[in-house]
Amino acid sequence: MDSKSRGGYFARLIPVLLVLATPAALSAEELQPAALTTAQSVLAADARKLGATDIATFAAPDGGFILAGKLAGDQFSVAIPAKWNREALLYVHGYSTPGTPVAVAVDPLAKGTGASGVLLEAYRDGYAAGHSAYDKPGMGVQTATENTLRLRDFLAKLGAKRFLVAGTSMGGNITLSLIEQYPKAFAGALSSCGVTDGWESLFGQLIDMRAAYNLLTEGTPYALPGEQDLTRSALPMDPPAGEAATSEAFRWGRIGQIAMPVLALAQAAQANPAGREARIMKQVASIGGFEPEPASIAFPLVTATLGMDDLNQTLGGNIYGNMGKVYASPEMTPEEASAFNAKVQRIVADPRAVANARHWHQATGRFRVPLVTIHNRIDSLVPYAQSEALGRIVKAAGNEKRLVQYTVPGTKAPLPVGGVEGYTHCGFSPEQSAAAWEALRGWVETGTRPAVDAVK
């Protein structure tokens, strides 16, 4: 690919490489000011008395209003319906690439916010619906747990009587953290495409995939740029001093640098299904435990290569080790597997990091409230194995009566390479997300376990 072709390819690539449910921060200037009723004015005044700062109010559908501001310096936004039932749904978003702004959408009901419209569905059912920013991007389970609890307690002081929580991707892990570590805070929970087993298993797969990709593409045009050490980020995510580009443009540039060779490999594999590139794709995917298709290799590699420094800094070291592991793949001959095991990089887990990852958060299955999960059978970033593992964990804890899991088919979308499609992450239709919400809401409100076919 010449430089001109790379430039056009890169321009097409940038807008579509959203990795893990990155929050969409919408400008307050896009919203209409609210003409508050007396009761709404009282709520806004009470919010100030409770210590919220930078308070702003905006119009919401059907006479409701959006209450936005900061709690202890962190942004929040909640949409409160005109006929508020004194219940609330709080949403916890997923992982965002290091360097991403921490702000969340000022309008929590906006399209694309909150698990394909779950917040809007809750709002229509009379629930206050909102979310809080985290203190940092990247691995943010601890800050998300703490900030969401702070918003929950704030809304309780404003008059909310019952709370539900919903999360996607990393937010699904945060959801488990909230209901397992704070059993009285929420009456029910919804996890969509969530890391519902834990970070050791997921990052183990991601790091294994990176190790395989590094080794199997060594010396080829498809090799990843930058640092090859599995315990380090491949490329720095902070712009150098004096960098003219904005941090946002710089971040997308880094994502593009990682994704371009992967998608070029996928394009070559599609052009020659019996060729070397197709074999590399299959071998890399089998080592990582993902589908041998472009998105299911590119998205995990972007996460593993650009997030390692943040992950290690947040948790206090490396959470995964492969010393003594014997890698096997049905896509390798015995000779290839032997050579792979002899050459692959070996790393050691840091016990402190492992302990932190298990606290923030390895599922125990010992929650006390209804939990609904929904997962695509094929997901390009958080494998279905995470959902299966949660089922086993909950069964071992003797807690099956509090868990309902829904599985829906994987979905595909075009990638910016001619004729190449890839599986999505969190690929739910608005109807599936709405059905999952209604399953949880009905379970909490009536005590009746939802039907096994409530989400299709």
The answer, yes or no, to whether the previous bond of 361 is cis (omega within 30 of 0) is yes
Based on the domain organization, do 207 and 263 belong to the same domain? yes
Q: Residue 201: what residue type? A: S
Alpha carbon separation from 130 to 89, 288, 383 (Å, rounded): 7, 36, 27
Based on the domain organization, do 151 and 48 belong to the same domain? yes
Based on the domain organization, do 228 and 279 belong to the same domain? yes
Q: What tokens does 186 get?
A: 């929420």
Q: Which of 342, 357, 372 is the last residue of a domain?
A: 357
Q: Assess contact for 285 and 296: CB atoms under 8 A.
A: yes
Q: How many structural domains comprise the chain?
A: 2
Mean pLDDT for 105-123 is 88
Based on the domain organization, do 96 and 150 belong to the same domain? yes
In the predicted structure, residue 1 carries a pLDDT above the cut 80: no
Q: Tell me the pLDDT of the chain averaged across its residues.
A: 92
Residue 330 domain boundaries:
199-357
Distance CA 246, CA 254 (A): 12
Q: What is the domain-level CATH number for residue 395?
A: 3.40.50.1820
Based on the domain organization, do 74 and 169 belong to the same domain? yes
Starting at the edge strand found earlier in the chain, the sheet holding 162-168 runs: 53-59, 65-71, 74-80, 128-132, 87-92, 162-168, 188-192, 371-376, 403-408
Lowest average pLDDT, out of 94-98, 172-176, 322-326, goes to 94-98
Lowest average pLDDT, out of 62-76, 81-95, 245-259, 432-446, goes to 245-259
Based on the domain organization, do 389 and 302 belong to the same domain? no
Q: Which position has the token pair 């949660």?
A: 390
Based on the domain organization, do 97 and 170 belong to the same domain? yes
227 part of a folded domain: yes
Question: For position 244, what pLDDT does the model report?
Answer: 60
Based on the domain organization, do 207 and 133 belong to the same domain? no
Based on the domain organization, do 387 and 248 belong to the same domain? no
Q: What tokens does 260 get?
A: 């371009």
Question: For position 418, what pLDDT does the model report?
Answer: 60
Q: Which of 357, 372, 403 is the last residue of a domain?
A: 357
Taking Cα atoms as reference points, which of 227, 378, 221 lies closest to residue 307? 227
Question: For position 113, what pLDDT does the model report?
Answer: 77
Mean pLDDT for 9-18 is 40
Alpha carbon separation from 342 to 90, 109, 320, 347 (Å, rounded): 48, 52, 19, 14
Distance CA 158, CA 77 (A): 14
